[in-house]
Amino acid sequence: MQTRCHLSVIAHKLAEKYGERPAFTYKSFGSSVWKKTSYNRFSQLVKQASNALLNLGAKPHDKIAVFSQNCLQYLITDFGAYGVKLVSIPFYATASEQQIQYMINDAQVRFIFVGEQEQYDKAHRIFALCHTLERIIIFDRSVRISTHDPAALYFDDFLKHGEGLPRQSEVEQLYNEASMDDLCNILYTSGTTGDSKGVMLTYGQYDAALTANAAVVDISDKDRTMQFLPVTHIFERGFTYLSFSVGAHIIINTDPHEVQQAMRETHPTCMSAVPRFWEKVYQAVLEKIESAGPLQQKLFRHALEVGRRYNVDCKSRRKCPSPWLAMEYKLVDKTILRLVRKQLGLENSNIFPTAGARVAPEVERFVHSVGINMVVGYGLTESLATVSCDRSNKPYTIGGVGYPIPGIDVKIGDNDEVLLKGPTITKGYYHRDAANKEAFTEDGYFRTGDAGYIKDGELFLTDRIKDLFKTSNGKYVAPQLVESLILVDKYIDQVAVVANERKFVSALIVPEFRLVEEWAKERGIEFSSREDLCANERVNKMILARIQTLQQQLAHYEQVKRITLIPHHFSLESGELTNTLKIRRPVVYKNYKQEIEKMYEE
């Protein structure tokens, strides 16, 4: 049963309900040991944080920022801030100094909470350039504080300011004054073009989102949910808060690179993820199949086929499988498919919400075929995550993004744009009057910038309207569709499609270097560097041939005709990726202008 209340007091309401039951599993910074903390302990730490903030001079509606990877202290800080009517602004742990300086000054942040050495160093370097900033509070005790830095304070010492709850009567008064109309968070969009904008999210939006999601997402206090995405991301933030509100046990994974090991150690039943995570799983399983003996390959492919017929052809369409299929699936699930889930640490899997980019149909089919309940959905920061998602009680279509959640009014506007109205939709961007006018239609619908259509109640997306390319022949190409097909290949790690005002479609490809290097060595191809490897004609022909196979379903004018292999990854540091790892096309095209022009030489 979901606990419904204002976020300022939810930690304490849950403590009354669950007491000493474990609420979180986590690791301390630098430790390899998993620890647990109870609902009672978390409630106590949140109260201490609220008291400490008041003792440091925080006033209602002041702004704090959290610049950290996922950790228990992050959640203590957020809920402590909510208790005293502060606005919490999350920063991605990978954000640059320029980005955090911009956001601190734009929102007039007073206190910044940082995770590890990297975040502290960046905050310290820009401190003098941010005139409202008063304190840097550090989660990781091993961080080396710069000499003569009176603004820095370790989180342990920060909590001591709230020891004994000296300001609790004032905190209780602020609980009573809490309003659903109050601003809860400002989430700055990472933006594929231009300056990031601060999306305003109120407590009322969270209340509406938690209520609507609880009605359609099958999660309960029997689940163990893992934080994999940064809690800065609205998808992870929303799913974490939903999990918390229903009493699920939350596993805090600090390092996303170690998520598969963490899954095997902690056995989550739920986890929100982006499609790239499942693409990697898909590629890894296919690689194992291809390296197995002929008999094992045959058995595994048969198991996947049975899984597809049972889970995709029948269960997804709400059809009853035949007794023979049900019996056959039970056998292959017990002997083969369960082993795949066990290797992932998902022996007792429940649901795995997936959003943030287009899910390749073959990846979605594969995940369902092995018995993992991927729940595909769609949402934005501006909609406080979920707009639509697959439902367990309704048929869903591979390639769709589910049914709108209760309370959301979705309609299709000009240029097939998806338009939204409802209680979870933002009132606008912080201090951005001009952007706010552009963001809404005259009748109050939010413009998503995504093109799509609705069929039998299900929402389907085609592409980002701004991303649609028009070739010099007048044909429109949706780059994300093409890229999602190509990224399924095990030899490809990153891709950027090029087509706008061009005669044909081309692509910049970052190979999966480990596998391509192995392939080259097995064939006696000599190379001394990644540049040599990417320039090799046989390597290029191999990858282009694989791309041609993957894109057979596309129209001729949509298919990639030429490629250039890039010897290093698109990166955050170069500005080629956003904090959510989406490609900033203008930056990529500028950085690789010479390589692109060469692909179009006669």
Provide the strand spans (E) within 501-584: 505-511, 560-565
Contact criterion met (CB below 8 Å) for 538 and 525: yes
From CA 341, how far away is CA 329, in angstroms rounded?
Answer: 15
Closest CA to 191 of 497, 583, 569: 583
Residue 547: inside a domain: yes
Query: Which one-letter amino acid corresponds to residue 140?
Result: D
In a domain, 197, yes or no: no
pLDDT in tens, 122-153: 999 999 999 999 999 999 999 999 998 999 99
C-alpha angle 594-596-597 in degrees, rounded to nearest 5? 65
Domain-located, residue 116:
no
DSSP string, 83-123: HTTPEEEEE-TT--HHHHHHHHHHHTEEEEEE-SHHHHHHH
Task: Give the number of domains in the chain.
Answer: 1
405, two tokens: 């959640």
Quote the percentage of the chain above a pLDDT of 70: 99
Q: The domain that contains 496 carries what CATH number?
A: 3.30.300.30
- Domain-embedded: residue 408: no
Q: Quick: pLDDT tens for 474-528.
A: 888 888 889 998 999 999 999 999 988 888 999 999 999 999 999 999 999 999 9
Number of residues assigned to the chain: 602
Residue holding tokens 């007491």?
A: 19
| 362-417 pLDDT, tens digit each | 999 999 999 999 999 999 999 999 999 999 999 999 999 999 999 999 999 998 99
Spacing of C-alpha 468 from chain mean position: 23
pLDDT of 194 reads 53
At residue 23, what is the residue type?
A
Q: What are the strands, taking DSSP E only, across 327-396?
A: 352-354, 374-380, 385-389
Domain with 537 in it: 468-599
> What is d(CA 578, CA 42) in angstroms, rounded to the nearest whole number?
33
Q: What percent of the chain has pLDDT over 90?
A: 83
**Residue 525 domain-assigned (yes or no):** yes
Q: Is residue 218 part of a domain?
A: no
Mean local confidence (pLDDT), 77-84: 98
User: What's the sign of the alpha-carbon dihedral 263, 266, 267, 270?
Assistant: negative
| Interatomic CA distance for residues 136 and 342, integer angstroms | 42
What predicted TM-score, i.e. pTM, was given to this entire model?
A: 0.90
> Is the residue at 488 inside a domain?
yes
* Tokens encoding 486: 């190509």
pLDDT in tens, 101-115: 999 999 999 999 999
- What average pLDDT does range 584-595 have in this prediction? 92
Q: What are phi and psi of 247, to 5 degrees?
A: 85, 20
Longest dimension (CA), the chain: 77
Close Cβ partners of 473 (under 8 Å, ≥ 6 residues apart) = 503, 557
* Residue-wise pLDDT tens digits, 169-206: 999 999 999 999 999 999 998 654 456 899 999 999 99
Q: What is the mean pLDDT of the chain?
A: 94
DSSP element (H, E) containing 534: helix 530-535
Residues in contact with 35: Cβ distance below 8 Å, sequence separation at least 6, in sequence order: 25, 26, 27, 28
What's at 333, amino acid-wise? D
Residue 590 lies in a domain: yes
Please tell me the distance from the alpha carbon of residue 163 to that of residue 157, in angstroms, as a whole number. Answer: 10
